[in-house]
Amino acid sequence: MDASNIGVIFDCDGTLLDSMGVWHELQYDLAKRAGGELTADDIAALAPMSIPECGAYFHEHFGLGEDDRDVVRMIDEYMLDFYRNRAEARPGALEFARALAEAGAHLTVASSSPKPYLMAGMQRCGFAPLLDRVLSVEDVHSTKRQPDVWDRAREIMGTPKETTWGVEDSAYAIDTLRNAGYRTLGVYDSDDAGTWEAMQAGVEHAVKTFEDLKLEDFLTWNESPLFLGAAEK
């Protein structure tokens, strides 16, 4: 099948890369540097924060660093080391992406993480040669609560919306994609991003791992119109 009219926009953390745990690891490391300990309230407060917001939080609540920017520098140093040297692809992710590219589909990455982290992770784990572009929400001055980053990715790929897929592990991002009229594939990572049951209810198709997904099945889904009812279980 000629898949040249298919666009696939992958999330990075928790979708292509097994990297969600490092963000929690980082928070505990920052608290330890300040001589403190994270509470459940701290963890809940930090969950939706951007990196600059995290920097401000650790400076103001833990007294870490000379100022907010000093903490952001610590975060960048820690995370770049992870993406350059420790990041790993989720099982089956690289194989699925490579099969899509070989079939002629267009692939991009759209993530909330900063561009340097993304580029380092995509290069280390072998995805970079397969991608039309790597985008951060910073590139469009937006968040994943708006469809801007996916709209930009689709513009780059030149694919019609009816055959352009957002592949995500996050429930709120899936909601944005669905409401904007994109096709949706959920790849479960952990309940932190949304339960398996909630994911199934919000997407056209859901898998627990890319190893459960066959290229032939995915290509066949593109021959059917956008499914607007409850997601397939």
Average pLDDT on 191-198 reads 85
Q: Show the CA angle centred on residue 156, arms to residues 82 and 163, nearest 5°.
A: 100
Q: Which tokens is 122 given?
A: 């995509």
Question: In what helix (H) or strand (E) does residue 9 lie, and over which residues does it extend?
Answer: strand 7-10
User: Looking at per-residue confidence, does 184 or 2 come out higher?
Assistant: 184
Q: In what order do the strands lie in the sheet with 205-207?
A: 133-136, 106-111, 7-10, 164-168, 183-187, 205-207
Taking 90 as the threshold, does the pLDDT of residue 193 lie above it?
A: no
pLDDT by residue (tens digit) across 197-224? 989 999 999 999 999 999 999 999 998 8
pLDDT for the residue numbered 48: 74
Taking 70 as the threshold, does the pLDDT of residue 229 lie above it?
A: no
* Number of Cβ atoms within 10 Å of the Cβ of 158: 12
Say how far apart CA 183 and CA 196 lie, in whole Å.
Answer: 18
pLDDT for the residue numbered 192: 78
Q: What is the pTM of this model?
A: 0.90
Query: Which of 158, 147, 151 lies closest to 105 in space, CA to CA?
Result: 158
Query: Which of 32, 42, 13 lies closest to 118 in space, CA to CA?
Result: 13
Site of tokens 């000379």: 66
Say how far apart CA 156 and CA 212 lie, in whole Å.
Answer: 29
pLDDT for the residue numbered 225: 76
Taking 50 as the threshold, does the pLDDT of residue 42 lie above it?
A: yes
Taking 80 as the threshold, does the pLDDT of residue 46 lie above it?
A: yes
Q: What is the mean pLDDT of the chain?
A: 93
pLDDT for the residue numbered 227: 54
Q: Which tokens is 120 given?
A: 């380092």
pLDDT by residue (tens digit) across 11-28? 999 999 999 899 889 999
